[in-house]
Structure formats: structure tokens, C-alpha cells
Amino acid sequence: MPKKNGNANAKTLAFLFERTLLYDNRAHVSLRVVDYTESKIRNLSYHSLYPSDHGELDGLVLKAFENEQGQWLGGSVEYYDLYAVDIGRAEVMLKTLRQIRQHLDRLNTRFGHAENFGQFAIRVADALGIETIVKESKHNSGRYDDNDYVIGNIGDLAYWLDSAKTVEAE
């Protein structure tokens, strides 16, 4: 799990906010953990022979789906779109997921269960040390550097989730 340190070369973690429409025109939201250092977005990278900062978070995504009432459902933390997983990486992934669950369990004991996906995501952000969220505002290409982004703090997540809905809540 990430720890804050005084390393000047340390990566800054962020959630990359992505919204897509499902076949029935309801929204799907994912929050992908990325490196956001020096105003540049980079994917994290795990390789067993060449360890890197936060490589254990490569492919880690939070997901939620919009229901008919305009509420976000799901709240899953999972590894997604993985290229290759060997036994070492599987063990690192399992350890990371367990650490996140333990952190969430402590918060649930202290504050009760999260009431919605936004609260859940903020708690996962706390577990990972994430304070920043980025969202693409203009898509020019498949490269991060070619696109424009809106940058916010994790407290902006509730607003971004509300603006991503396709159904007005009743």
C-alpha cells in the first residue's frame, strides 16, 4: 500500500475518472489508479523483475453502474484489463486487495458502512493515499499527453458523479 514519504521522485497517485454509456444508455463509471506527477498522467506499471513505485496498483479500478433511479450501484475494487499475471503478481494483488479491505473494515467500524458509491470511493482513496482526481475534458487522441483534463481534489468526486448520471434521481 502506498505510503507518503519525503522522496522527491515519488509518484503522486490519482483517480482517472472515466464515464461510458452502457447498451441501455445508462452510465458506467470507473476510477482508475494512475500516476499524476508533474501534471502528467501515466499508467502504473508492474513488473516482477523491475519493481516500480506503486506497481502493485497497476490495473486497479473502482467501478459503479447507474440504475433506473439514477443511483450508482456496485462499488467494486478490482484489477481490470491486465496483460499478464504470474504467481508473484497475483500474490501482490491479493495482498493489496486485502489491505484495502482491512482499511475499509476499520472505517466501517468507526463510521458505519458507506451510504453510496461516492463515500465508498473516498474511503478507498483514503486507503491508497489518493487526494487528486482527473477527468478528461477534451479527447484528441489515445495518448494522455494529447488530451485536456480537469483536475480536482477527491472532495469533488460527489459532484462529478452527479454530473455523470443519465437518469435524474427520484
Give the model confidence (pLDDT) of 48-90 as tens digits: 666 667 778 888 999 998 887 878 888 899 998 877 788 888 9
Q: Which residues contact 119 (CB under 8 A, 6 or more apart)?
A: none
- pTM: predicted TM-score of the whole model, two decimal places: 0.83
Q: Name residue 20's beta-bridge partners.
A: 28
pLDDT at 12: 87
Going by the DSSP 8-state scheme, the letter that residue 82 receives in this structure is -
Give the model confidence (pLDDT) of 109-164 as tens digits: 999 999 888 899 999 999 999 999 998 887 776 777 777 788 899 988 888 888 87
In the numeric block, the cell 489518493 is attached to: 130
Q: Name residue 21's beta-bridge partners.
A: 27
Q: How many CB atoms lie within 10 A of CB 33?
A: 25
